[in-house]
């Protein structure tokens, strides 16, 4: 039996939440997906600052959070900071 199957059998609520996240159909799942995108964006922004490199191609093509105002605002602040 795979570790994921053992975990699912022992923690059915966690399995349900993971399936919900994977399906990306609820507002909560969409929020978590957008948080994941924002996390990647923040990491790239920090890397740019620490390493003195520009990751323009990444920022032009990354899948940005676009569903929740608070996350959109953070994204816009990063964009403003990068434009300086």
| Residue that is written with structure tokens 């399995």 in the block | 15
Q: Supply the pLDDT for residue 62.
A: 86
Q: Which domain holds residue 14?
A: 3-83
Q: How far from 28 is each of 58, 64, 65, CA to CA, in Å?
A: 26, 17, 14
Residues of the chain with pLDDT under 50: none
Could you read off the pLDDT of 35-50 as tens digits, one per residue? Answer: 999 999 999 999 999 9
Structural domains counted in the chain: 1
In this prediction, residue 1 carries a pLDDT of 63
Global pTM?
A: 0.78
């Amino acid at each position: 039996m795979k570790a994921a199957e053992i975990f699912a059998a022992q923690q059915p609520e966690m399995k349900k939440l993971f399936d919900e996240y994977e399906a990306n159909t609820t507002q909560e799942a969409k929020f978590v997906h957008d948080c994941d995108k924002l996390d990647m964006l923040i990491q790239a922004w920090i890397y740019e600052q620490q390493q003195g490199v520009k990751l323009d191609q990444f920022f032009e093509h990354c899948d940005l959070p676009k569903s929740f105002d608070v996350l959109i605002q953070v994204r816009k602040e990063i964009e403003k900071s990068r434009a300086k």
